[in-house]
Amino acid sequence: MNRFYVDSAPIDPASVEALVRASAYGAVATFSGIVRERADDGRPVTGLSYEAHADMATAEFERIATEAIERFGDCEIAIAHRIGELRVGETAVVVAVGAVHRSRALDACRYAIDQLKARAPIWKREAYADGTSEWRENCAHDEAAP
């Protein structure tokens, strides 16, 4: 399986994580982005729809992985993003990083998801319980992060 992909099929986080496991690595950090039941403004969400330019997105995933390796050292990175209609509770994105130590794996994982949100040509439309929907901008950083 390719370590960088965009697909309409459900993502199995364990299969993405398996792509970065190696006997040389003592840590695997995995981030899974899940469709949640409430929007940032509190409105009930019934699902999300993702669109992407798949070839450009996977090329960007590879660039992000290369940058992460340059910044944090030897590691393996895999990134998968779902497109199409997703329901609450489904996995939209998975980033997995295998590295010698946890700090490298965690740092590279956070860098990769933040850069993906900021740069990848992927678009998200939220569907609300009242029947309306709107395109949402990707947030590059978690607002609670330092």
CATH superfamily of 4-129: Molybdopterin biosynthesis MoaE subunit (3.90.1170.40)
Residues 84 and 5: their CA atoms lie apart, in Å, by 14
The pLDDT score that the predictor gives to residue 137 is: 82
**Model confidence band, residue 141 (pLDDT cutoffs 50, 70, 90):** low
Report the half-sphere exposure of 137 (CA within 13 A, side-chain side): 4
Angle at 110 between CA 116 and CA 97, to 5 degrees: 95
Give pLDDT, residue 138.
Answer: 73
Q: What pLDDT, on the 0 to 100 scale, is given for residue 144?
A: 47
What is the amino acid identity at position 138?
A: N
Q: What are the distances in angstroms from CA 22 to CA 90, 93, 95, 101, 122?
A: 27, 22, 16, 12, 30
Convert the pLDDT of each residue in 105-130 to its tens digit: 999 999 999 999 999 999 999 999 99
- Where in the chain are the domains? 4-129
- Note whether 121 and 57 are within 8 A (CB): yes
Residues 65, 79 contacting (CB under 8 angstroms): yes
Give residue 146's pLDDT band: very low, low, confident or very high (50, 70, 90): very low
Written in H, E and C, the secondary structure of 43-78 is CEEEEEEEEECHHHHHHHHHHHHHHHHHHHCCEEEE
C-alpha–C-alpha distance, residues 136 and 39, integer Å: 10
